[in-house]
Amino acid sequence: MKARSVLLIVVLLMVGILGSVIEASATSPATVSELQETWFVVGYFFDIANTAEHIVLLRFLLISETTPEILAKIQQWESGTLTKEEVRAVLLNYLRTQGNLESLEAFRMGEWVSNVEDSVIDLKHGVGNDNNRLVFEATVTAHALACQAKGFIDVFAGTAPQEVLQALEQIADKGNKIDVAGLIIGDADLDETISALLDLFGLCKSIKGGYGLGD
């Protein structure tokens, strides 16, 4: 998980990005774009949440987006009586029962972006520590995640910001250049594979920027 997560959330709160999303939701019906942005942010922060402080801030983000029952489940996660996966199941079920596919997929894409970033971070750690096993595992994970980009393109083709769609297209293309099989048998183009892997991090930054999240 990313050590910068708490600082990032606090900065966003200070400059009013998260607050403006909540205020807009509380005062007027959210547009599809607002819902998509909000649930992308929730999914991203949900994935990186691993302390009570993270969970409190996540609950704040969800105050006007969910029901008191779901907020109570998040408090149970905070207190340790529910696991993160149990709360995730509750959130996904809530979105499914609302019938809002875009919000559900936006949540999943936020998690996915965080996972892609983690795979690149793991790759760098593996290279820096001369850990071939970690390098290979991170490469396999990054390749599998990159291949999922096409599914998000299909869902958000008509509604996501253009920079998000362009980044997703490029991630899908990078996935085709990550030669896992070639790494196994020893005939991969290492320069192309490593370059494609490292490019994923910048492309994730572009997606986050499309939804108002900066570093």
Predicted pLDDT of residue 31: 55
d(CA 111, CA 105): 10
Instruction: Give the three-state DSSP class for 23.
Output: helix
Question: pLDDT for 47-98, tens place per residue?
Answer: 999 999 999 999 999 999 999 999 999 999 999 999 999 999 999 999 999 8
Q: For 42-90, give the secondary structure using H, E and C.
A: HHHHHHHCCCHHHHHHHHHHHCCCCCHHHHHHHHHHHHCCCCHHHHHHH
Residues 124, 117 contacting (CB under 8 angstroms): no
Interatomic CA distance for residues 140 and 137, integer angstroms: 5
Per-residue pLDDT, 8: 52
Cα gap 67→119, rounded to integer Å: 33
Model confidence at 13: pLDDT above 80:
no
3-state secondary structure of 100: coil
pLDDT of 121 over the 50 cut: yes
pLDDT given at position 26: 43
* pLDDT tens, position by position, 144-200: 999 999 999 999 998 999 999 999 999 999 999 998 988 888 888 888 888 999 999
* 12 pLDDT above the threshold of 60: no
Q: How far apart are CA 156 and CA 158, in angstroms?
A: 6
Selected residue with higher pLDDT from 26 and 80: 80
Amino acid at 188: A
User: Dihedral angle at the C-alpha atoms of 118, 122, 124, 125, nearest 10 degrees?
Assistant: 130
What is residue 29's predicted lDDT score, i.e. its pLDDT?
45
Confidence tier at 33 by pLDDT (50, 70, 90): confident
